[in-house]
Amino acid sequence: MSMASSFVKIPRERIGVLIGPKGKVKQQIEEALRVKLDVDSATGGVTIYLGEDSEDPSGIFRAKELVLAIGRGFSPERAFRLFDEEAVLQLIDLRDIVGKSESDMKRLKGRVIGREGKTRRTIEELTETDIAVYGHTIGIIGSPENVQTAREAVMMLLKGSQHNTVYRFLHRKRREMKRKMLEIWEKPEETPP
């Protein structure tokens, strides 16, 4: 067995979510990515090994991202988007913006979530991403281009932009993306000479 491995630490209170009812979530990750997860419930440490039947170390990287996503507040169902090789996880650490001030962190998380979750839902819908606000991080899962747009919107909010300004930005980005997709579909096929 190959000894390729990786280690990630997640909050202990998220270990139960990672393991899942009767170990189902852990098992799904192990089977889908052909890895073995060694979970230490006492410390929150997770060591990821390449499965015995796998030669592909990318499974370890993808499993690490998935474990990290669940550790940072995503439900397993939302984190499972990372099974798709096109999907990425981006984390924004609020401590990089406000230091360790709990009150500033709470205020910024509130700006991103919005009243009754409206702001987060709007960003998710307009960028086709999933967003989790948990602890000191804001996590985003989706395609690289969509995650970048969602990240820009979140950063605008964190830096104090008005919600309406951010919504206008998102609508403009969405129109640009739709236009790009239409251009791709409408390109005439090259006819050989």
Residue-wise pLDDT tens digits, 69-108: 999 999 999 999 999 989 999 999 999 998 888 999 999 9
Domain end residue (candidates: 62, 83, 104): 83
Q: Are residues 28 and 49 part of one domain?
A: yes
Question: Do 74 and 95 sit in the same domain of this protein?
Answer: no
Residue 191 lies in a domain: no
Question: Cα separation of 98 and 82, whole Å?
Answer: 29
Last residue of a domain, one of 50, 68, 83: 83
> Same domain for 140 and 159?
yes
* Residues in the chain, total: 193
**Residue 160 and residue 129 in one domain:** yes
**Among 63, 83, 103, where does a domain finish?**
83
Q: Of 11, 24, 1, whose CA–CA distance to 74 is shortest?
A: 11
Average pLDDT value for residue range 134-140: 96
Confidence of residue 2 (pLDDT cuts 50, 70, 90): very low
What is the CB-side half-sphere exposure of residue 146 using CA atoms within 13 A?
A: 19
Q: DSSP secondary-structure letter at 23?
A: G
**CATH code, domain carrying 22:** 3.30.1370.10
Residue 84 CB contacts under 8 Å (≥ 6 apart), including other chains: none
| CA distance linking residue 40 with residue 19, whole number of Å | 11
139 shares a domain with 104:
yes
Which domain, by its residues, includes 175? 88-185
Please indicate, yes or no, if residue 42 is contained in any of the structural domains: yes
**pLDDT for the residue 112:** 96
How many domains would you assign to the chain? Answer: 2
The pLDDT value given to residue 189: 62
pLDDT above 70 coverage of the chain, percent:
95
pTM: 0.88
Q: In the prediction, which pLDDT does 52 show?
A: 84
What's the angle, vertex CA 133, arms to CA 147 and CA 42, rounded to 5?
115
93 has which bridge partners?
Answer: 137
pLDDT > 90? residue 192 = no
One domain, residues 25 and 66: yes
Q: Are residues 34 and 73 in the same domain?
A: yes
How much is the CA Rg of the chain, to the nearest whole Å?
Answer: 19
Most confident among 96-100, 107-111, 174-178 (mean pLDDT):
107-111
Query: Are 79 and 131 found together in one domain?
Result: no
94 in the same domain as 68: no
